[in-house]
Chain A
């Protein structure tokens, strides 16, 4: 396992807030190889974003406790100082933020925002950095990059801004790119453009990608493996094929049922998952999903299930009353 790019073991991130202690990430383990794309899927509040930021060591340090281990290219991230992390950010790991409206500095020309990384981290001179920045802008598909180099973020559309954010993240050729809901703030028509761009850049630049989303449709064709998160924990993990066609966990099934599919006849009613994600500060003793699960048994309410292996290698799930193996082709016609 030591040759893996990223090894996460029993990672916990806990917030101490006015309203109590919140285990936003509650003991997560997984790993990621070079040049692999991993999808992390879950509803809002499932801890995806916190997980991503903890892996990057980007969480603020006040009132937050992180334990466990995150080895990124052999370097421990948990407990590392900002100084140590600074050396890894941009060159080892970079992030594409969720909302391009707020993640670019509104009073800085976009060229400067890309330049700056190149000059500070790679020691390029002004001219070289400028040339490289324009090259990056071209690469992410921004037309007339030379002119846009001097634009302010407010002068660009949301999709264009997200391309700038991607260009900035890629500036120092990171080995791992974490894209946190990179398309949530964008128009539907722009979404697939951005995702395809990320896909092709990954091939070009030979890097690993973690793609975080609440939309299973986004990760279906673009990832090799998928992690399904619920209430801060992994509830199912496996190869993309296995997750879509041989899922065992009831929550995964519910998620699949609730996302629209082209194959459905028109006017098909979408299934909804009843109830709401649990309040993390008062988690039930049993399976976190049990209160919303139609198939919950008494054991589900009493005892917390741990991850167990399914048939295929690397496919694990946490459920007392799982779906039967290999019969659950993902249709939602009921």
Chain B
């Protein structure tokens, strides 16, 4: 167990290193002089000089990386030339919104997916299973950006529900009721997208598990169906679910940009798109780095949970 975690940790450090190199060299992958990419073609020579000094652009490229990574490790992601604000502080303001969206949507998705998948798996091809499978399959084919647009169209515009439309976001700390109202549609949209994936995976794994011999053995011990479903079948069936949840939640870290963009919710995704629109290279680079590392950490965390759930995995 310990050995397994240490090995994963070493891998984690390696991947984070590669990600940092990738984010750093992102700029050199793009055609043209880095200063022009960052500042735009119409930059003044004074600004170019400042930039060259800040990034050490006239030094060898390896040294540039070490200067940069040194700053990053001190929490300094640079100062945006566009907004003149610290990239790190911009990310710090945006991140809690993503966190809130992720928590809301995942609670909703799991609360719906787990009981429904368990019910569905109890009678494969039964009425409930057919309805839920067809429904989830249809939802699978509706991209989130269409779901959110239709929700806004029908709920905020046609029904006129307050505080659900675009630009109604307020921070949690200033008014949590309006905050929750304004996040309800995006959270619901993300929840649907996650629900579909979770439901389908858990359902098919549950069906497979329920045919295992140890389930027959559990039945032969005279245990209640409820106990067999939750105590015996659920845990071994949840490994793929947890793995997918890790990937999915990592994807939501900045992948919820579509809903944020539509509703003007200033999370990481929105900030990223705004940064791209204003060619704010340092902001984009900072977000790419933070999100990538975040994704890796989330996956690491879920791998850890999985190894707790299924002791067979860390022993392989």
- Residues of A in contact with B (beta carbons under 8 Å apart): 56, 58, 82, 85-91, 94-95, 97-99, 102-108, 116-117, 120-121, 152, 154, 165, 168-169, 171-172
Contacts and interface: CB of A to CB of B under 8 A. Distances in A.
B225 to A, nearest CB: 7
Main secondary structure of the interface of B (DSSP, over half): helix
B220 A107 contact: no
Q: What 9 pairs between A and B have smallest CB-CB spacing?
A: A89-B222, A102-B213, A90-B222, A117-B221, A105-B214, A103-B217, A103-B213, A86-B222, A152-B311
Nearest to A89: B222
B166 interface: no
Contact of B222 (A91, A108, A152, A154): A91
Interface stretch (B80-88, B193-201, B227-235): B227-235
Contacts of A120: 221-224, 227
Nearest to A94: B220
B217 A107 contact: no
A106 B314 CA distance: 13
B63 interface: no
A154 B222 CA distance: 24
B219 interface: yes
27 contacts: A58-B216, A85-B222, A87-B222, A89-B220, A97-B213, A102-B212, A103-B213, A103-B214, A103-B216, A103-B217, A105-B214, A106-B310, A106-B312, A107-B309, A107-B310, A107-B312, A108-B231, A108-B232, A117-B222, A120-B224, A120-B227, A121-B222, A152-B311, A154-B315, A169-B220, A171-B221, A172-B222
Contacts of B224: 86, 120
A305 B312 CA distance: 52
A99 B214 CA distance: 10
Given A120-B227, A154-B315, A105 B219 contact: no
Given A107-B235, A116-B231, A120-B227, A102 B214 contact: yes
Given A152-B311, A154-B312, A105 B222 contact: no
A136 to B, nearest CB: 13
Contacts of A94: 220-221
Contacts of B315: 154
B217 A104 contact: yes
Interface centre among B214, B219, B232 (most CB of A within 10 A): B214
Interface centre among B219, B221, B312 (most CB of A within 10 A): B221
B218 interface: yes
Nearest to B219: A58
B96 interface: no
Contacts of B309: 107
Contacts of A85: 222
Interface in B230-263: 231-232, 235-236
Nearest to A117: B221
Interface residues of B, number: 23
A90 B221 contact: yes
Contacts of B217: 95, 97, 103-105, 165, 168
B193 to A, nearest CB: 29
A98 B213 CA distance: 9
A108 B218 CA distance: 12
Given A108-B232, A152-B311, A154-B315, A116 B214 contact: no
B220 A56 contact: yes
A121 B236 contact: no
Interface string B38-55: 000000000000000000
Contacts of B221: 89-90, 94, 116-117, 120-121, 168, 171
B310 A58 contact: no
Contacts of B219: 58, 89
A95 B224 CA distance: 17
Given A98-B213, A116-B223, A120-B221, 12 more contacts: A89-B219, A89-B220, A90-B221, A90-B222, A103-B213, A105-B217, A105-B236, A106-B214, A106-B310, A106-B312, A107-B236, A152-B311
Contacts of A165: 217
Contacts of B223: 86, 116-117, 120
A58 B220 contact: yes
A120 B214 CA distance: 17
A108 B225 CA distance: 17
Contacts of A169: 220
Contacts of A116: 221, 223, 227, 231
Nearest to B218: A105
Nearest to B311: A152
Contacts of A168: 217, 221
A106 B236 contact: yes
A97 B216 contact: yes
B62 to A, nearest CB: 47
B220 A104 contact: no
A99 B213 contact: yes
Interface in B3-31: none
Nearest to B215: A105
Nearest to B212: A102
Contacts of A117: 221-223
Contacts of B214: 102-106
A77 to B, nearest CB: 13
A95 B221 CA distance: 9
Interface centre among B214, B220, B312 (most CB of A within 10 A): B220
Nearest to B126: A62
A91 B214 CA distance: 19
